[in-house]
Amino acid sequence: MLPAIATEYLRLQSAETSRTLAYLRLRRAIQHLIDTGVLGPGHGLPSERDLAAGLQLSRVTVRKALSGLIDQGLLSQRQGAGTFVSERIVRSFSRLTSFTDDLRERGLNPQVTFLERGIGEVTPEEAMALNLSPGSGVVRLYRLRHVDGAPIAAERTLVPHSLLPEPQRIGASLYEALDTYGHRPRRALQRLRAVALDAEPAQLLHLESGAPGLLVERRAFLADGRVVEFTRSFYRGDAYDFVAELQSD
């Protein structure tokens, strides 16, 4: 990949009408190769040393260029393996699947960190979301989702306690835990909108406050119409694509 990066770097250099800092030029060169598909998801980049030698730049300059692309989510680093073009995750709006199922189908390794996992009495707002009576028990989950160690989503989930008696049994997948009780969702209503991330989800996702993200709200139902899940998820906007299949009447 070094020849392609060097060619694009030199093209940008020759096309400049004013002097550009070398690290910005290298950053633009690599981003252009990603945008045009020359560097596809999962492709490895040359080492910092090789890039520096091949482009006659200092390693500090190369490191600064790569760090900017890592902050944008375009590149990711794996300890001891190198720097790679980030995988964008495509999630369908036309199938009711769990986050874990989606990633496993694509050969990725999903992980979860529980920031909160407890049982309490439902609040008026939660009762409305879950169609529960006042005084009912509710399971509250706050999870940070990772792919290969990189955080990509922060999720707050509500589940009626009657449908999930032992929330400690939840592992990587909530739906797998619900399935053990015969309560896997059968349909869902889902809404997506673009947002500027508040400080808390931005920090969890290793982004700056106000960075673009996606807010997805899901209300899932059992076959008998009972609400089994209400989830609000904040996704990194630079790592996730949602798709839906549309058909005419």
C-alpha distance across the termini of the chain, in Å: 47
* 47-61 tens-digit pLDDT: 999 999 999 999 999
The residues, ordered by sequence, that sit 6+ positions from 29 with a Cβ below 8 Å of its Cβ are 5, 8, 9, 11, 12
Phi-psi region of 82 (alpha: psi -120 to 50; beta: other; left: phi over 0): left
Judged against a pLDDT cut of 90, whether residue 192 lies above it is answered with: no
Indicate the residue type of 156.
Answer: R
Instruction: Return the SS3 of 214.
Output: strand
Judged against a pLDDT cut of 70, whether residue 211 lies above it is answered with: yes
Q: Nearest 5 degrees, angle CA 157-CA 150-CA 60?
A: 150
- List phi, psi (to 5°) of 235: -110, 150
* 135-170 tens-digit pLDDT: 999 999 999 988 777 788 999 999 999 999 999 989
pLDDT at 143: 95
Question: Are 62 and 26 spatial neighbours (Cβ–Cβ below 8 Å)?
Answer: yes
Q: Give the residue among 15, 8, 178 at the shortest CA–CA distance from 100.
A: 178
Query: Mean pLDDT across the stretch 211-225?
Result: 91
Query: Mean pLDDT across the stretch 71-82?
Result: 76
Bridge partner residues of 121 (DSSP): 137
- DSSP structure class, residue 88: P
Query: Mean pLDDT across the stretch 181-206?
Result: 91
**CA 6, CA 38: separation in Å to the nearest integer?**
13
pLDDT-based confidence at 74, cuts 50/70/90? confident
